[in-house]
Amino acid sequence: MAEITVATLNLYNRAGRWGERAPLLVDQFIELLPDVIGLQEVDLVIDQGNWLVHLVNSRLGQPTYRIHHVTSPGRLAPWLANAIATRLPVLAHEGLDLLSGERMAQGVQLETADGPFDLYNTHLHHPLDAAELRCEQARRLLDWLTKWGDDKPRAIVGDFNARPGEPAVDLMKERLRSAHETAHGHEPEKTWPTPINTDDRDPPGCLDYIFVGGAEVKECRLAFDRPHEYDPTLYPSDHLGLVARLSFPAR
């Protein structure tokens, strides 16, 4: 059986004390060393994704990770993107316009020693009253899975802006399994917000997921979830991340 470590984190662009939390983000990334990670709210103006990969690779002493971006559509295009960083060879990379809410998804097909693995990364629309729109975005995303075939091991990661029991999450679970729920019997109590977000008054909750198909969930837990040693209000992001260790049959 092959194994792959998959992670996700919303970077919160450069908001929320970015200059202070950036070193914490790099430290916890290096501790985690996922095979592949989906990132949301990547700030293109400061080249945030490439900066992160460059710092991680410099600390590791070798060019371990590469990053692939898909920019947001519409007015967000000049500055906001989703990105996938991986230390595995990439066989294909494509983006999908979700056609609402200025939201995108992206997918990479990764080469492993035991056959390809497909990783999809997304960030659904955020307003509390947009549950039906998020469901339509999730449906479009699921329809896209068949592009590279529905028979390979795969995961969809990201900030779904949807709490457990909302239509978008239920729709995903009709086709795939939540890694955290599979490992623990329930979703995390919350993945958003951390104390660095002082502006948003929406209720806290679980918004971030790793959905899995064609693979066994060996482990899943929160990631990027430790505050600074001397400042309990300083976290790597306003979201907590997730990381899952998956196994799948060699092909």
Residues 77-115 pLDDT 10s: 899 999 999 999 999 999 999 999 999 999 999 999 999
- Residue 157 is predicted with a pLDDT of 98
What CATH homologous superfamily does 2-248 map to?
Endonuclease/exonuclease/phosphatase (3.60.10.10)
- Residue 14 is predicted with a pLDDT of 97
> Which amino acid is it at 196?
I
- Residue 186 is predicted with a pLDDT of 98
> Which amino acid is it at 72?
S
Mean pLDDT computed over 57-65 = 96
Query: pLDDT at residue 39 above 70?
Result: yes
The band of 27, judged by pLDDT with boundaries at 50, 70 and 90, is very high
Query: pLDDT at residue 230 above 90?
Result: yes
Mean pLDDT of the chain: 96
- Residue 85 is predicted with a pLDDT of 98
Query: pLDDT at residue 197 above 80?
Result: yes
Answer whether 0.85 is exceeded by the pTM: yes
Mean pLDDT computed over 119-141 = 97
Mean pLDDT computed over 153-171 = 98
Query: pLDDT at residue 3 above 70?
Result: yes
- Residue 149 is predicted with a pLDDT of 67
The band of 151, judged by pLDDT with boundaries at 50, 70 and 90, is confident
Q: What percent of the chain has pLDDT over 70?
A: 99
- Residue 144 is predicted with a pLDDT of 93
- Residue 147 is predicted with a pLDDT of 72
